[in-house]
């Protein structure tokens, strides 16, 4: 491996929780009579919970319809549904190619970090049996700017003590690829072709990570 560190997104890279975030937002949007589909959902990937709800409101011309307290309550409702989805997760939900990538990195002494803005990341990693599989897991509660800001990738690289240009970031979201590039890192994009962004290494599936030269 040429990379001196790997920094992985969680939702949609390590496991397919991106679909649960979508289903939970879709249920909330439906209950409010709002339009929301999978194309709209692309804009929510990598974005914090409240910012995601703000995007749904904006799509529906409803940005000023609710108070901060009401918005918090709707976000909490979405999160309760999301938590019910992830409560059934097991190590079998780790996406293909990820165990092989983690084993290769370990064998070659390349540190690996998780860069997820999800406050549910510790619970998801625990359900997957991966809580102790990383050298650093960013604390979403301490990240002040969502992707596409590079903050979370820079925090991970700093924690690992690796220069930004020697890090490879792996993402499934347009905002994530932008964040990796803004951090001065090399990007691997899973399924991001339709977003119009050009990751340094575009992949159609995480399976390709098993043997990929990084």
* Cβ atoms of residues 13 and 206 within 8 Å: yes
- Of the pair 21, 186, the CB lying nearest ligand BG6 is at 21
Choose the catalytic residue: 11, 40, 135, 172: 11
Beta carbon nearer to ligand BG6, 44 or 157:
44
Distance CA 165, CA 83 (A): 36
Residue 127 · residue 17 · CB < 8 Å: no
User: Which of the listed partners (Mg ion, ligand BG6, none) does 119 bind, with a CB threshold of 5 to 8 Å by partner kind?
Assistant: ligand BG6
Binding to ligand BG6 by residue 47, rule CB under 6 A? yes
206 interacts with ligand BG6 by CB under 6 A: no
Residue 9 annotated as catalytic:
yes
Please state the closest distance from residue 11 (CB atom) to Mg ion, in A: 4
Q: Is 17:122 a contact under the CB 8 Å cutoff?
A: no
Residue among 2 and 141 whose Cβ is closer to ligand BG6: 141
- In the set 172, 178, 180, 181, which binds Mg ion (CB under 5 A)? 172
Does residue 119 bind ligand BG6 (CB under 6 A)?
yes
Is there a contact between 85 and 24 (Cβ–Cβ < 8 Å)? yes
Task: From the candidates 9, 40, 135, 172, give the one annotated as an active-site residue.
Answer: 9
C-alpha distances in Å from residue 209, one per residue of 26, 67, 82, 98, 144: 30, 44, 27, 7, 30
118 binds, among ligand BG6, Mg ion, none (CB under 5 to 8 A by kind): ligand BG6
Note whether 199 and 212 are within 8 A (CB). Answer: no
Instruction: Decide if 11 is catalytic.
Output: yes
Q: Which residues contact 162 (CB under 8 A, 6 or more apart)?
A: 4, 5, 111
List contacts with Mg ion (CB under 5 A).
Answer: 9, 11-12, 172-173
List contacts with ligand BG6 (CB under 6 A).
Answer: 10-11, 21, 44-49, 52, 79, 116-120, 173
């Amino acid at each position: 491996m040429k990379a001196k560190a790997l920094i992985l997104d969680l939702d949609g890279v390590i496991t397919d929780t991106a679909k649960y975030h979508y289903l939970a937002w879709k249920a909330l949007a439906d209950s409010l009579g709002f339009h929301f589909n999978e194309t709209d959902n692309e804009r929510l990937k990598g974005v914090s919970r409240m910012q995601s709800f703000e995007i749904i409101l904006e799509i529906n011309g409803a940005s000023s319809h609710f108070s901060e307290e009401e918005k918090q309550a709707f976000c909490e409702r979405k999160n309760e549904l999301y938590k019910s989805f992830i409560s059934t997760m097991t190590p079998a939900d780790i996406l293909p190619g990820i165990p092989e990538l983690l084993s290769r990195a370990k064998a070659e002494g390349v540190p690996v970090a998780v860069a997820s803005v999800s406050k549910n990341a510790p619970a998801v990693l625990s359900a997957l049996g991966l809580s102790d599989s990383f050298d650093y897991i960013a604390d979403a509660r301490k990240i002040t700017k969502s992707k596409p800001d590079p903050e979370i990738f820079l925090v991970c690289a700093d924690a690992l003590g690796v220069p930004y240009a020697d890090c490879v970031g792996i993402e499934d979201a347009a905002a994530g690829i932008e964040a990796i590039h803004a951090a001065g890192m090399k990007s691997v994009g899973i399924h991001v072709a339709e977003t119009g962004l050009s990751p340094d290494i575009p992949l159609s599936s995480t399976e390709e990570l098993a043997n990929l030269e990084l």
